[in-house]
Amino acid sequence: MTRPDASTSPGRLAAERGGALGGVRVLDLGHFIAGPYAATILADLGADVIKVEDPDRIDDARRTGPHFQNGESVYFLSLNWGKRSLAVRMSSDRGRALMLDLARSADVVLDNFKPGVMAKLGLDHDALIRINPRLITCSLTGFGETGSLAARPGYDYTVQALAGAMSLTGEPDGPPAKAGVSYVDHSGGLTAALAICAALFERERTGRGRHIDLGLFDTQISMLTYLAGWTLNSNAHLERTAHSAHQSMVPAQNFATSDGWISVFAGHDRNWTQLTLALGDGRLLDPAYATNAGRLAHRTEVLALIAEDFAALTTADSVERLAARGVPCAPLNTVEQALATPTVAERGLIAEVEHERYGRFRHVAGPVPALGGNSTAGAALLGEHSREVLLELGYDAATIDELVANGTVATAHDADTSR
Return the DSSP state at 139: E
- Reply yes or no: is the peptide bond before residue 66 cis, omega within 30 of 0: yes
User: What's the pLDDT score for residue 416?
Assistant: 62
Q: Over 90: is that where the pLDDT of 414 sits? A: no
pLDDT score, position 18:
76
The chain-wide mean pLDDT, for the chain, equals: 94
Q: Reduced to 3 states, what is the DSSP secondary structure of residue 279?
A: helix
pLDDT over 90 at 128, yes or no: yes
Second-level CATH architecture of 10-222+349-417: 3-Layer(aba) Sandwich (3.40)
124 among known catalytic residues = no
Instruction: Go through 193-209 and write b for each residue having 16 or more CB atoms within 10 A of its CB, e for each that does not.
Output: bebbbebbeebeeeeeb
Tens digits of residue pLDDT in 187-240: 999 999 999 999 999 999 999 999 999 999 999 999 999 999 999 999 999 999
- Sorted by where each begins, the domain ranges of the chain are 10-222+349-417, 244-256+261-331
Check residue 377 and give its pLDDT: 86
* Sign of torsion over alpha carbons 103, 105, 106, 112: negative
Type of residue at 351: A
One fold for 10-222+349-417 and 244-256+261-331: no
144 vs 377 pLDDT, higher one:
144
pLDDT at 143 over 70: yes
Q: What is the pLDDT of residue 415?
A: 58
The answer, yes or no, to whether residue 6 has pLDDT greater than 50, is no
Architecture field, domain 244-256+261-331 = 2-Layer Sandwich (3.30)
Q: Backbone phi, then psi, for 348, in 5-degree steps?
A: 65, 45
Please tell me the distance from the alpha carbon of residue 10 to that of residue 4, in angstroms, as a whole number. Answer: 8
d(CA 164, CA 148): 18
Catalytic hit among 28, 101, 107, 185: 185
